[in-house]
Structure 1
Amino acid sequence: MRKVTFPHMGESYRTFKMLLNDLGNEVILPPRPSRRTLNLGVQNTPEFACFPLKILMGTYLETIEMGANVIVTSGGVGPCRAGLYAELHKKILHDLGHPVEMIVFEPPRLYPFNFIRNVYKLNPCRLSIKAIIECIKRAWRKLQALDNVEKATHIIRPRELKPGATTKTYKKVLEWIDKAYTTREIIDAETAALIELDNIPRDPERLVLKVGIVGEIYVLLEPASNLEIEETLGNLGVEVERSMFLTGWTRDNTWKETVEGLTVKDAAKPYLPELIGGHGRDSIGNTILYSKRNFDGVIQLAPFTCIPEIVARTILTSVSRDYNIPVLTFFLDEQTGKAGMTTRLEAFVDLLRRKKLQAPDNKLLTASTF
């Protein structure tokens, strides 16, 4: 019997679980990446491979142990190794004796027939086109709800009076959205979740910094891969705005690029006019836009050996100087430790706070400082 799994990427698994169940699949939920997940991935992938490939390999091996025999994942376009990772995962898994089926969704905007063909493969119930569209619409609404609630936590956490209150409430309301099924239930669950978060006592007088987070999509969206950096920053009194959410990425790659996506490209054009793969150009464009919106700083998250983000990092030095916005970069791999990351974040936040309290024409704290 077909048992379907997929990568774990933040809370989006709640949406994919519902959609695949609606289409008639037995779903094997991927566990949140752990140290065991990473160890399995490191043992069975090339040493030079980037961090997401290793985590996903570990995830696939864990879900295969749980009975999964079909893996649903995404592909990619442009000069980035990530577009080939599905085939590499498949070859490694087959060499290890796991003859899994790999269903790879390429960007529907560029490969519409690939999307239709894969949906057909994942529709054992043989639902009508109309029914499939309704399932996708409902899943999309749940994904929007999950993203909207997460965005609210980024605003509330740095202002909470009781440490940990936002995180505790967030975990509770996620279950409300998870259990919602109809569109009406999802909307009601989202509304109730936002009200519950809004009721958390806050300090309106607290000095809160605003920091944008840019970088590669997987390490941005999966907290286990970035060591819960957004929660750590919130606890340090920083309001975080992440440059990428799954809803935005899906819109840009499904029907047409959003105005936001085109604006980011335009912002980056003077520094990087060409697509270099991955999200390197987005990292540059978003950093410029954050500066224009008077953010206090930017943090770049990148897998170790990620060429697009390495290129972006070298350019961000000039962007930081030209736009007077401090930039801190983390290259993440299996050696990255939370204690070391937290120490660097505390120092960065202290410097941002000091800069905020200094004269507005201060230009000393740039990317080269870090």
Structure 2
Amino acid sequence: MPRVTFPHVAESYRSFKMLMEDLGNEVILPPRPSKHTLDLGVRYAPEFACFPVKILLGTYLETCPKGVELIVTSGGVGPCRAGHYAQLHKKILHSLGYPVDIVVFEPPRLYPLDFLHNIQRLNPRRMSYRAIYECVRRAWRKLQALDNVEKLTHKVRPKETIRGATTRTYRRVLEWIDRAYSLVEIEEAERSALEELQKVPQDPNRDVLRVGIVGEVYVLLEPASNLEIEETLGNLGVEVERSLFLTGWTRDNTWAETTEGLTVKEAAMPYLPELLGGHGRDSIGNTVLYAKRGFDGVIQLAPFTCIPEIVARTILPRVSEEHNIPVLTFFLDEQTGKAGMTTRLEAFVDLMRRKKAARRPA
């Protein structure tokens, strides 16, 4: 039974663990990234490698001593260094005495044969494709449930009357989804989790701001990498809508891009008509769409040295001016501190509140 691990991306590990075990693998769970994780990554990664490279390397260095044989990760398309992460990590790990192999999943719609080959590498039980499909279907449904429950926390937290009640409830109901196995159990756990979150005491009359969050996929999805920015904003009375969730990113890279994804590209076209790589063009397009939907502001999250997001950052001031929406950018690396981020967020929230008040009729 091969020992397998994968990157820690928020709560998605609950779904991936179930899938890998169903296929016959022993899962070494990646820990939630911590200061120790980042210290390990910074020590052995190239100095100017982007933030996700360092966090992922640190994660692997925490799991490889436990006997990991295979690392499962995703690749990248377009002019972005993400497509080289796996090869870089493999070379570094081998140089440190960990002879692991890495299975890289590229978009199946572009590389269907490679996708099937990788599935078989992770299928030591030699299950049929029909049986694999059923395993994937359950794992996908669990991933949807995890995303749907998280989305509701972003709406409830800004209105909660007891500080921290949403987060405590969220942590509790996650275990319900984690324990669910069959499709019926997963759907029941999701329904119960959503109902439980709705029970959190809320003030329906509270004046809540709406902020869209755009940026690079990993720092958007992993709270440890963005210093729990969504929870901080919720505690400041801000409803967050993230432009990217793992189910949407997986869907767009697995079988076909969604209509929503194409709309984002169309919105970005006047500002950036070419493929930039990463999520740079999406950051611009989503900012335009958030402005059209009447959001109060947009926050861009970007790893330090991330070229696509740096290019997007140079364009966003024009988008902000033409669409009359405030935009705040955070470039994240190992030097970023939560206290400094919170101070900037408080100032940004204050700016948005004054701007919103000025728009109200006298």
Q: Which bin holds the TM-score, normalised by the shorter protein?
A: over 0.9
1:339 deviation in Å? Answer: 0.2
Aligned match of 1:353: 353
1:188-209 CA-partner distances (Å, limit 9, x unpaired): 0000000000011100110000
Aligned match of 2:205: 205
Map 1:197-346; keep pairs closer than 5 Å.
197-346=197-346
CA–CA separation in structure 1 for the residues paired with 2:298 and 2:324: 11
CA–CA separation in structure 1 for the residues paired with 2:138 and 2:284: 34
One-letter identity of the residue aligned with 1:99: P
Aligned match of 1:98: 98
CA–CA separation in structure 2 for the residues paired with 1:126 and 1:97: 30
TM-score calculated relative to the size of structure 2 = 0.99
CA–CA separation in structure 2 for the residues paired with 1:198 and 1:87: 45
1:236 deviation in Å? Answer: 0.2
1:360 deviation in Å? Answer: 6.1
CA–CA separation in structure 2 for the residues paired with 1:320 and 1:64: 45
Aligned match of 2:62: 62
1:358 is paired with a residue whose SS is: helix
Aligned match of 1:83: 83
One-letter identity of the residue aligned with 2:153: T
Q: Identity across aligned pairs (percent)? A: 75
Across the aligned residues of Structure 1 and Structure 2, the Cα RMSD in angstroms comes to 0.8
CA–CA separation in structure 1 for the residues paired with 2:129 and 2:103: 20
1:272 is paired with a residue whose SS is: coil
TM-score calculated relative to the size of structure 1 = 0.97
CA–CA separation in structure 2 for the residues paired with 1:360 and 1:81: 45
1:307-360 CA-partner distances (Å, limit 9, x unpaired): 000000000010000000000000000000000000000000000011100036
CA–CA separation in structure 1 for the residues paired with 2:316 and 2:213: 13
Aligned match of 2:185: 185
One-letter identity of the residue aligned with 2:174: L
**Alignment partner of 1:127 is 2:124:** no
Aligned match of 1:365: none
1:41-97 CA-partner distances (Å, limit 9, x unpaired): 000000000000000000000001222121000111100001101000001111111
CA–CA separation in structure 2 for the residues paired with 1:242 and 1:2: 35
One-letter identity of the residue aligned with 1:78: G
Aligned match of 2:52: 52
2:68 is paired with a residue whose SS is: coil
Aligned match of 1:367: none
CA–CA separation in structure 1 for the residues paired with 2:59 and 2:69: 13
CA–CA separation in structure 2 for the residues paired with 1:84 and 1:359: 47
Aligned match of 1:18: 18
Show structure 1 runs of 5+ residues with no match: 362-370
CA–CA separation in structure 1 for the residues paired with 2:360 and 2:243: 25
One-letter identity of the residue aligned with 1:12: S
Show structure 2 runs of 5+ residues with no match: none
Aligned match of 2:166: 166
One-letter identity of the residue aligned with 2:66: M
1:226-267 CA-partner distances (Å, limit 9, x unpaired): 000000000000000000000001111111110010000000
Map 1:108-123; keep pairs closer than 5 Å.
108-123=108-123
CA–CA separation in structure 1 for the residues paired with 2:128 and 2:332: 44
Aligned match of 2:40: 40
